[in-house]
Amino acid sequence: MKNYLKSWNLARVLRLAIGVIIIMQGIEIEQWLLVGMGVLFAILSFFNVNMCATGSCGVPTQRRPHKHAGTAYDEVK
């Protein structure tokens, strides 16, 4: 259990806190969809999964431009 808690960072703690706050607010105003969203945030932090787990938030690496033998341009009048 100690090793599990050592791997927690600030973002993970914030996600858990936001999830708990959303759950409490949803219960208070009886909005069960809001409670579900809070549970989602709490589960994401508990399992250390973020919204970019599918790789959709990744930044593509820069590719070197290909050196072409030469580009011919025609003058248009």
Per-residue pLDDT of the chain (77 residues; tens, 9 = 90+): 666 667 788 888 888 999 999 999 999 999 999 999 999 889 988 888 776 666 666 666 776 666 666 666 777 87
Tokens linked to 60: 């593509």
Q: How many domains does the chain have?
A: 1
- Is 16 a member of any domain? yes
User: Model's pTM, two decimal places?
Assistant: 0.61
54-61 contacts at long range (C-beta below 8 A, 24 or more positions apart): none
- Is 40 a member of any domain? yes
- Is 55 a member of any domain? no
By residue range, what is the domain housing residue 36? 2-46
- Is 56 a member of any domain? no
Cα–Cα dist 7/56, whole Å: 24
- Is 42 a member of any domain? yes
- Is 22 a member of any domain? yes
Cβ neighbours, 10 Å, residue 45: 21
- Is 30 a member of any domain? yes
